[in-house]
Structure 1
Amino acid sequence: MSISDSLRQQVIEEANYRCEYCKTSSRLTGTPLVMEHILPRSQGGSDDRSNLAASCYRCNEFKGVKTDAPDPETGQLAPLFNPRTQEWRDHFAWINGGTHVIGVTPTGRATVIALRLNNENMVEARSLWIEFSWHPPVDEQ
């Protein structure tokens, strides 16, 4: 099955042209967002809107086929963040002026680690975007 251009555009527009995991704007990076299957196709996931998220290449690659990961605080497996059924601000927060994202729930903490949301390159880019007031997204604070 293939994702239609109109569905792809709908997902991206609803995400406000930002990765639904790290909140990086494709307009800042100049890199198009890709369709992330929340439940991977290899595990029975579909191309339905309810299973698709707008994702940057980096988050898409780091997530891969993962659906859960260890919570670094408890060591217990926690489900990764699901942008279709969960609110970002319930699971994550910006710290250090917006250069870093932290998980405030087991799901958030597991997702931060599994998707490497604070990798060196992103933290450096965020610090530059902050200088121009382009980051963090105002609606996610």
Structure 2
Amino acid sequence: MKTDWHSIPTAASGLAPQLPGQPIQFFRVKRVGDRALVDLTGLRLDQEKPGLCNLGHLPAWAKADLPHQYFWVNDSPTSLHPSLCAVYYGVTCYWTETLAKGLLGVQRPATLRGGFEFTSTAPIPPELIV
């Protein structure tokens, strides 16, 4: 069983403020069997504040089986996984920190690229199955 990609609108507190005329930000989620794929590409983070930032909430059908997990994510087209993102309580996505010159830092990148995957055995609503 699998789903198509679903756009999840988000205006979470850690994202860059929405300017007039800009669409609301979103990330994408897809299920393929017991794997949930999360694509964070294009999310703009609020760089005015350092540290942990909320990215949004996963739908119930993509809830992570392990409630607290960390994932390395790209944060620019030329980077290779320097940002650390997390899922808390199985549903809330956060950006937590970045790796710069071998040290962990709290300065948020401008955007995120790519995403991560995890195990999810939450039931998929029949209308989402393709």
| TM > 0.5 fold call | no
Normalized per residue, the structure richer in strand is 2
TM-score (norm 1): 0.26
Higher relative contact order, chain-length normalized (CA < 8 Å, sep 6+) = 2
TM-score (norm 2): 0.27
